[in-house]
Amino acid sequence: MTYNGTILSKGIAIESAYLYTSYHVIPDKKTIADDEKAQAVGRYEKAKATASNELENIRARLDDADKAKIFTAHIDIIEDEAIDDEIRESINAEGYAEDWAIYSAYEKYIKILGGVEDPMIRERAADLNDVEKRLLRCLAGIPEKRLEKLDQPIVLVAHDLNPSDTAMLDREMVRGIVVEKGGATSHSAIIARSYGIPLLCVEKAMQMIAPDNLLIVDALDGVLYIKPDMATLVDYEKKRGRWKEHINDVSRYLSVQPVCTDGTKVDIELNIGSAKPEEMGNAEYTSGVGLFRTEFIYMECNTLPTEDRQLEIYKSVLSRFEGKPVTLRTLDIGGDKVLECLKLPIEQNPFLGKRALRLCFDHSDIFKTQLRAALRASAYGDLRLMFPMVSSMDDFYRARTIVDEVKENLREAHISFNEKIKLGIMIEIPAIALLADHIVKEVDFASIGTNDLTQYFLAVDRMNTSVSNYYQNYHPALFRLIAYVAREFKKANKQLSVCGELSSDPLAAAVFIGLGIRKLSMSGAFVAGIKKMICSMNTADAEEIAKHIQDFPTAKHVENYLKEMLSEFI
């Protein structure tokens, strides 16, 4: 059987399917007869034992001490006497079934903790929630599925993946991913691309694929094969071989200097989401970090990372980049990025809601903790601060004032930091792009976030596959807007880069060079390919191309023209 899909990360995978669903069921509020109570308690005890066992196993397999601590905390919750008594009481005295007894006891505590002022206590609600789901799943007899440590190579199949699922998955064993939902610039897709894992979006995939079905994920031509025949399999082994050869060929450019044929130098920087060695692997072949998506540090924890923990991470990134600039983007939560450690109200339009800087203004304790950690880290290297979701000059002024306050507190406490730390913004909202002439006077630098800029400029949800044909990366109006920003930054002689996914597309990257942008930031997996394009390119030609495309009426015209002009360089 073959199905068409949307390519979210290129490549080919041939492995058995592993169906992943996270367990989330709210039990019915039902009562039981007196003679069933003993059995109900027995089933609860069995679920408790299974859950504890699972947690012990996970803890034993983890090398990371910090992550192991989370699971110790979960074991403690399961053993908590107050909750345990309450569940037993609910079954024995009130006559409720064991699933409702577990659910109602946990929900009661989740509500209490969720309403507490102190954020450290509030975060414990997320742990309780996790344990509650685990207990209910064990009670239902459903085996656990985790993505961090897998025993054999698989193609992961899921309705949808949270960025935190994707960030935690076993990169060795997950050879391909099929999802039913997710746009090309969803954070799961961005992570899959940075890991080099082929990812296809196929409607109703979960219904069509059974566990262990052999799959071919052709994320080069956008086709999914379920239980392919022998001949197809043989063809695909060859196709996969040719793709690997192509990747090897491009990878020869990894260590070269990114210099155009006329001698123009371009800085290639890295996009990272953690201080993990796998993410910073290409540090020596780049000029620094152009985008450190710090929210991923928060996503990996069940509690908000402390100032000291953040300081440690930021310092380790600075030390890995040995004096090169590291651009730390402050917390960008909201949209498709949710935090287990900070429960936030559900919004109807999360991408247009309380996201990123807006959320930080509301949670100034969290924002200031991050700024303190970042400023303290700035004493150890060239750390820069960049604010996401800036929609007006006021947003920037307000963020800068908070930075000034935190600086003052550090001075009073005689804690050293870089007094001249550079402050910049992401240009990802059209309004601030059109105020480039004003914002350029205030900031030290800016970076264009094409993922959100495309979404907000073209009024198209970056996550919604049903409108993905409206998410047009090559829309000529988008290039006109970026051209305007580039002109203003050039006039003011201020640094401008591009750090959205478009910077890792050789066709678009050539246009950015033609617009005078000399800094591109991307995941490690794309560095070699972009260097190849730069080394084959002449800036005068790039300028001509960049000028020409702004006159085209449609994205298709732009794409065809770029392919015609640049295909030999990619």
In this structure, what DSSP letter does residue 259 have?
A: B
Q: Please count the residues of this chain forming the interface with ligand PEP, following the rule CB under 6 A.
A: 10
Specify the stretch interacting with ligand PEP by CB under 6 A; choose among 100-108, 162-170, 358-366, 444-452. 444-452
Residue 559 touches which of ligand PEP, Mg ion, none (CB < 5 to 8 A by kind)?
none
Q: Contacting Mg ion (CB under 5 A), which of 449, 506, 514, 524?
A: 449
435/439 Cα distance (integer angstroms): 6
**CA-based nearest residue to 349, from 478, 219, 450, 463:** 463
Interface segment toward Mg ion; rule CB under 5 A; list 368-376, 392-400, 448-456, 483-491? 448-456
CA angle 366–371–372, rounded 5-degree value: 100
* Three-state secondary structure call for residue 226: strand
Q: How far is the CB of 30 from ligand PEP (least distance, A)?
A: 44
Q: Among ligand PEP, Mg ion, none, what does residue 384 contact (CB within 5–8 Å per kind)?
A: none
Q: Which partner from the list Mg ion, ligand PEP, none does 183 bind, CB cut-off 5 to 8 Å by kind?
A: none
x/- mask, ligand PEP, residues 284-313, rule CB under 6 A, reads -------x-x--------------------
Q: Around Cβ 176, how many Cβ atoms within 10 Å? A: 27
| Binding residues for ligand PEP restricted to 495-514, rule: CB under 6 A | 499-500
Distance CA 103, CA 48 (A): 13
Which residues, at least 6 apart from 98, have a Cβ–Cβ distance to it below 8 Å? 40, 41, 43, 44, 47, 87, 91, 139
Q: Quick one: what does residue 500 bind among ligand PEP, Mg ion, none, with the CB cut-off 5 to 8 Å set by partner type? A: ligand PEP
Query: CA torsion angle for 177, 178, 180, 181 (degrees, to 10)?
Result: 30
Question: What totals of helices (H) and strands (E) does the chain contain, helices first?
Answer: 23, 16
- List the one residue out of 329, 336, 291 whose CA is nearest residue 189: 336
Of the residues 187, 201, 260, 360, which is catalytic? 187
Q: Which residues contact 500 (CB under 8 A, 6 or more apart)?
A: 185, 428, 448, 449, 450, 451, 452, 453, 454
Give the one entry of Mg ion, ligand PEP, none that residue 450 binds, where binding means its C-beta sits below a cut-off of 5 to 8 angstroms depending on kind. ligand PEP
Residue that the structure tokens 């980049």 belong to: 321
Site residues (CB under 6 A) for ligand PEP, limited to 317-356: 332
- The entry of Mg ion, ligand PEP, none near residue 499 (CB within 5 to 8 angstroms by kind) is ligand PEP
Nearer to ligand PEP by Cβ, of 132 and 428: the residue is: 428
C-beta of 282 vs 450, nearer to ligand PEP: 450
Question: Considering beta carbons, is residue 87 or 331 the nearer one to ligand PEP?
Answer: 331
Alpha-carbon span 470 to 4, nearest angstrom:
19
Q: Is 341 a catalytic residue?
A: no
CA torsion sign for 330, 365, 167, 317 is: positive
**Residue found by looking up tokens 């640049």 in the block:** 566
Indicate whether 54 belongs to the interface with Mg ion (CB under 5 A).
Answer: no
Q: Which is nearer to Mg ion, 503 or 539 (CB)?
A: 503
Element (H, E) at 177: strand 174-179
Q: Which of the residues 402 through 441 are near Mg ion (CB under 5 A)? A: 428
The burial class, CB within 10 Å (0-12 / 13-18 / 19+), for 248 is: exposed
Q: Which of residues 237-296 bind Mg ion (CB under 5 A)?
A: none
Among 160, 428, 461, 488, binds ligand PEP (CB under 6 A): 428
> Which lies closer to ligand PEP via its Cβ, residue 13 or residue 530?
530
Q: Is 246 within 8 Å of 220 (Cβ atoms)?
A: no
Residue 450 lies near ligand PEP (rule: CB under 6 A): yes
Q: Least separation, in Å, of the C-beta of 293 and ligand PEP?
A: 5
Nearer to Mg ion, 498 or 533 (CB): 498
Q: Is 499 a catalytic residue?
A: yes
Minimum CB distance to Mg ion, residue 389 (Å): 7
CB of 236 to ligand PEP, least distance (A): 32
CA distance 560 to 425: 32
Could you tell which of ligand PEP, Mg ion, none binds residue 288, using a CB distance below 5 to 8 A set by kind? none
Residue 546 near residue 490, CB atoms below 8 Å: no
Binding residue for ligand PEP, selected from 451, 473, 523, 539, defined by CB under 6 A: 451
Residues 6+ apart with CB under 8 A from 168: 147, 148, 300
CA distance 124 to 113: 7
For Mg ion, which residue of 132, 300, 452, 488 counts as binding (CB under 5 A)? 452
Binding site for ligand PEP (CB under 6 A): 291, 293, 332, 428, 449-452, 499-500
Point out which residues bind Mg ion (CB under 5 A): 428, 449, 452
Please give the positions annotated as active site. Answer: 187, 499
